[in-house]
Amino acid sequence: MTALPTLMVVPTGVGCATGGFAGDAMPAARLLAAASGCLITHPNVLNGAALYWSDPRIHYVEGWALDRFAAGELDLRPVRRQRVGLLLDAGIDDDLRLRHLQVADGCRASLGLDIGPVVTTDAPLGVRLEVGPSGASWGGLAHPDALLRAGERLRDAGSTAIAVVARFPEDPASEALAAYRNGAGVDVLAGAEAVISHLLSRHLLLPCAHAPALRPLPLQPGLDPRAAGEELGTTFLPCVLVGLSRAPDLLPLPPAAPVTAVHGPLLSAERIGAVVAPAGALGGEAVLACVERGVPLIAVDNPCVLEVTAAALALADSGATVLPAAGYGEAAGLVLALREGIAPAALARPIRPLQG
């Protein structure tokens, strides 16, 4: 059966019930990958700190690059292996730095990943965290130029993908953190993480992803299972290294620079057969680019702090195909129907007669 390349988007830092925590959207991604045969998604969906799932049907694409791919400005080329450079923030404490180096060594020895070299920024990045009026998290850097210079050094040294570890502010007693650990809040780190990876991916046109450097939190009884993945280790780096190890190459259209990684079949925006996104978070660039191209949109009931719905965007008025799904199980069924050439309307009841 021919694969139906499918885009899965769960926006970062908006508190989605599925995908707003520590890799808790991975089961949904695995199901959609099985239904579609080819799933393109971003680190927010697949990063679970020490937990990860490697599947050749799932393509790990940073959020800025995912938007550019959906807009038809990039192709993706699957590879067997990336050489993952490790970019460390100069603001990381010595003991946390050593811990992250040991995690990278563990991934080299136990998983066979190609990691290196290691570059430290020439100035602390100075991460700041913010929460917008909508309740979504975001943030910025005091020294983005230091991030880009370190990324250039890794690229010039032969790295074909980049894992970033930045020192993040900590407030273990904050109400926002308590709400998140209890399954009721927004990940306040996620927005700033996206800023870091977006900057680097856009500047270098390489696969990039980020892991925050933080000290372990005290044990908490009654922790929400969706946040529990963050309790398993002392860093968030393993999932990033695994994801990047086979992340597809980014090929700008038209090609602007040679890409040295192993050749493979191309994925292009014209091949996208469906896009799956939370029903209240449909305003992202990747989703709207797919809708504009006529790609069926599967809008999943996945509550978050946003209310950017199909109705709010008047998508029906534009002729878009919007298929509501009560959850990711139903979304996978719709993807499978599209893959098999079954009209989703034929699965609903009643079926209204044609009018001549």
Tens digit of pLDDT for each residue in 116-155?
Answer: 999 999 999 999 998 888 889 889 999 999 999 999 999 9
**Residue burial 263-282, b: 16+ Cβ < 10 Å; e: rest:** eeeebebeebbbbbbbbbbb
Within the chain, how many helices (H) and strands (E) appear?
10, 14
Query: Quick one: pLDDT band at residue 257, thresholds 50, 70, 90?
Result: very low
Task: Check residue 29 and give left, alpha or beta (phi > 0: left; psi -120 to 50: alpha).
Answer: alpha
Nearest CA among 255, 296, 248 for reference residue 57: 248
Tens digit of pLDDT for each residue in 212-239?
Answer: 999 988 888 889 999 988 888 889 999 9
Q: C-alpha distances in angstroms, 159 versus 30, 47, 170, 250, 270?
A: 28, 21, 30, 14, 29
pLDDT score at 255: 56
Q: What sign results for the dihedral spanned by CA atoms 209, 307, 303, 329?
A: negative
The answer to whether the beta carbons of residues 89 and 57 sit under 8 Å apart is no
Q: What is the mean pLDDT of the chain?
A: 93
pTM of the model: 0.94
Tens digit of pLDDT for each residue in 312-355?
Answer: 999 988 999 999 999 999 999 999 999 999 999 999 999 999 99
Tens digit of pLDDT for each residue in 23-52?
Answer: 999 999 999 999 999 999 999 999 999 999
pLDDT score at 260: 45
For the CA atoms of the chain, what is the radius of gyration?
A: 20
Query: Can you tell me the distance from the alpha carbon of 164 to that of 324, in angstroms, rounded to the nearest whole number?
Result: 36
Other Cβ atoms less than 10 A from the Cβ of 173: the count is 7
pLDDT score at 170: 87
The answer to whether the beta carbons of residues 211 and 23 sit under 8 Å apart is no
